A and B are shown apart, each in its own frame.
Chain A
Amino acid sequence: MAKSYAEINAKIKKGAAVVVTAEEIIDIVEQEGTRKAAEQIDVVTTGTFGPMCSSGVLLNIGHSTPKINIHQAWLNDIPVSASLAAVDLYLGATALPEHDPLNTHYPGEFLYGGGHVIEDLVGGKDIQLKAIGYGTDCYPRKRLETWINIKDLNETTLLNPRNAYQNYNVAVNLSAKTIHTYMGVLKSNLGNAIYCSAGQLSPLFNDPFYRTIGVGSRIFLGGGVGYVCWHGTQHDPNVPRGENGVVKAGAGTLAVIGDLKQMSPEWLVGVSMLGYGASLTVGLGIPIPILNEQIVRFTAVRDEEIWAPIVDYSDAYPNNRSKILGEADYKSLRQGNITIRGEKVPTSSLSSYSKAREIAKTLKKWIKKGEFLLGAPSQLVPSVESEIRFKPLKYRPLQ
């Protein structure tokens, strides 16, 4: 038997939908089997909470008197992109102040960047705007310095080109000295291993072929409601997969959008990666509609069935070599140790499992209360049938 989005939404409106988290569905499928589970359960909720560098906010600040066509602008001294219409700005999560020492005194601290401005903005703090224009007949103003606040702006739209990576590398360091990466501090000679996924709770592990996720899927984003608006940059559905369809490398990604004004600084956190840069930790959760038996089987995936590639960030990663040191399953990763080249290596996570669990539970609560309806996608995220291949740069020297 198959269910439609309309049928599930009708149940949600009545407050009668049966909703469980991606952790809870595991035992249900084991005890009841996929057929019964697909009949009983309407929605499975997922969650993830990790640094997602391809994130940012699109702002329209409103027009000043006289008007300015902003050519360059800074928010709390962080440069923003003004390469749009007069007072439209895009603030990226990894932007850094021009006076930042960067990695001059290695490892740099990157204490305040774009992600931190986003956290302050969503938290209702006043932000300093400095802007310059070159002056035109229709936009004569050349300088603008003012405090701005999210409540006074026209649009503040969180628009993240790449979030919710389906899977991710386990980062290690084979070299003889500590290295500082976007995955965190990696100790020398396999001193630690850092992974970054909520595994069995993570959205795309629960719908590995993107049979329910696409343009218009309504999601939990930054503590509020958002939408999937496209597949993410570097989306790569055709990576090797296990028997259960689970991807064995990065694979799928999502572009997401939502109104920042209804989000919260608890779920959009500015972060500083020592020796690397600034970023934004984003809370994101997707409800998976149980349209049929196949989908419920996918949502029952468990950590021990999900494998991540182990990659050396001292050499293979920076030099773009695909060689991996092996694979690790998320059950072992989450328990704190994995074995690499016969050595026991302690693991840490960059993605918060407890917060991912909180997101899945929050989404479950919203849906059960009838406050959150599912968005039927008008176009699914491209899957294994698509021609998409993630290409390296085709380098052609200018000379």
Chain B
Amino acid sequence: MKVSRRIVLHFPKQLVDQPIIYALVNDYNLVFNILKASVTPGEEGLLVFELTGKKSDYEAGIDYLKSLGVKIEPLSRSVKRNDLKCTHCGVCVTVCPTGALSVDRKTMIVQFDSAKCTACELCVKACPPRAMEVHF
């Protein structure tokens, strides 16, 4: 069985210079899609990503991360669109860094692909009718 989860990793600073993600790919056959990363040598690192693979591989990979001292949390904040409020102006589209918000150029309807959203929340305040909402 295949699983795919979005998780937040906090790395202690001594791990920042180690090729942990490489190991997840190479040793555990996992596929990753980085949504957000903040990794600076000598500081605690943060990585938000989507991890996909066979359930057994996924669990083994998570155990490996835990054994290294990486703190793991599910991605608990998410941005949702209140469809009753959205006026489909599209002003959010150039504010969104990941392409989660886009315009269908034929209908000129604004589309929100939550799979591409990293919950950076830039759209939340940039939306004039405040249709983009943060959920916990």
Interface residues of A (CB under 8 A from B): 49-51, 107, 109, 111, 184-185, 187, 191-194, 269-274, 279, 281, 334-336, 346-355, 357
Question: Residue B129 at the A interface, CB < 8 A?
Answer: yes
Chain A residues with Cβ under 8 A from B129's Cβ?
Answer: 269-272, 281
Name the CB-closest residue of A to B102: A336
- Inter-chain CA distance A394–B82, complex, in Å, is 46
Are the CB atoms of A355 and B88 closer together than 8 Å? yes
Name the CB-closest residue of B to A353: B108
Name the CB-closest residue of B to A346: B94
Least CB distance, A26 to chain B, in whole angstroms: 15
Max chain B CB contacts within 10 Å: which of A185, A192, A347, A348? Answer: A348
Are the CB atoms of A269 and B87 closer together than 8 Å? yes
Question: Residue B74 at the A interface, CB < 8 A?
Answer: no
Interface size class of B (residues with CB under 8 A): 10 to 19
Question: Residue B130 at the A interface, CB < 8 A?
Answer: yes
Least CB distance, B15 to chain A, in whole angstroms: 33
Chain A residues with Cβ under 8 A from B105's Cβ?
Answer: 334-336
Least CB distance, B112 to chain A, in whole angstroms: 14
Are the CB atoms of B94 and A352 closer together than 8 Å? no
Are the CB atoms of B128 and A51 closer together than 8 Å? yes
Chain B residues with Cβ under 8 A from A194's Cβ?
Answer: 91, 94
Name the CB-closest residue of B to A358: B88
Are the CB atoms of A352 and B90 closer together than 8 Å? yes
Name the CB-closest residue of B to A107: B125
- Inter-chain CA distance A334–B104, complex, in Å, is 10
Are the CB atoms of A271 and B103 closer together than 8 Å? no
Least CB distance, B80 to chain A, in whole angstroms: 18
Name the CB-closest residue of B to A111: B130
Q: Known contacts A352-B88, A354-B108: does B125 contact A109 (CB below 8 Å)?
A: yes
Are the CB atoms of B109 and A348 closer together than 8 Å? no
Interface residues of B (CB under 8 A from A): 87-95, 103, 105, 107-109, 125-126, 128-130
- Inter-chain CA distance A269–B109, complex, in Å, is 17
- Inter-chain CA distance A270–B85, complex, in Å, is 10
Chain B residues with Cβ under 8 A from A355's Cβ?
Answer: 87-89
Out of B87, B92, B107, B126, which one reaches A49, CB within 8 Å? B87
Least CB distance, A252 to chain B, in whole angstroms: 22
Are the CB atoms of A350 and B108 closer together than 8 Å? no
Least CB distance, B102 to chain A, in whole angstroms: 9
Per DSSP, chain B at the interface is loop
Q: Known contacts A269-B129, A334-B105: does B90 contact A349 (CB below 8 Å)?
A: yes
Least CB distance, A226 to chain B, in whole angstroms: 19
Out of B103, B108, B128, which one reaches A272, CB within 8 Å? B128
Least CB distance, A275 to chain B, in whole angstroms: 9
Least CB distance, A142 to chain B, in whole angstroms: 37
A sample of 19 more A-B contacts (CB under 8 A), given A354-B88, A355-B88, is: A50-B89, A107-B125, A184-B91, A184-B126, A270-B129, A279-B128, A281-B87, A281-B89, A334-B105, A346-B94, A348-B89, A348-B93, A348-B95, A349-B90, A352-B88, A352-B90, A353-B88, A353-B108, A357-B108
- Inter-chain CA distance A349–B94, complex, in Å, is 9
A sample of 27 cross-chain residue pairs with beta-carbon separation below 8 angstroms, ordered by A number, consists of A49-B89, A51-B128, A184-B91, A185-B95, A185-B126, A187-B95, A193-B94, A194-B94, A269-B129, A271-B128, A272-B128, A281-B89, A335-B105, A336-B103, A346-B93, A347-B94, A348-B93, A348-B94, A349-B89, A350-B89, A352-B88, A352-B90, A352-B108, A353-B90, A354-B88, A354-B108, A355-B89
Chain A residues with Cβ under 8 A from B128's Cβ?
Answer: 51, 184, 271-273, 279, 281, 350
Chain A residues with Cβ under 8 A from B107's Cβ?
Answer: 354
Max chain A CB contacts within 10 Å: which of B89, B94, B103, B108? Answer: B89
Task: Give the 4 A-B residue pairs with the shortest CB-CB distance, closest first.
Answer: A192-B94, A271-B128, A353-B108, A348-B94
- Inter-chain CA distance A269–B84, complex, in Å, is 11
- Inter-chain CA distance A258–B88, complex, in Å, is 25
Least CB distance, B38 to chain A, in whole angstroms: 19
Name the CB-closest residue of A to B103: A336
Q: Known contacts A49-B87, A109-B125, A281-B129: does B108 contact A348 (CB below 8 Å)?
A: no
- Inter-chain CA distance A358–B95, complex, in Å, is 26
- Inter-chain CA distance A274–B87, complex, in Å, is 17
Least CB distance, B99 to chain A, in whole angstroms: 11
Out of A272, A281, A348, which one reaches B90, CB within 8 Å? A348
Name the CB-closest residue of A to B130: A272
Name the CB-closest residue of B to A278: B128
Name the CB-closest residue of B to A187: B94
Chain A residues with Cβ under 8 A from B125's Cβ?
Answer: 107, 109, 274
- Inter-chain CA distance A109–B128, complex, in Å, is 10
- Inter-chain CA distance A121–B128, complex, in Å, is 19
Name the CB-closest residue of A to B95: A185
Least CB distance, B86 to chain A, in whole angstroms: 9
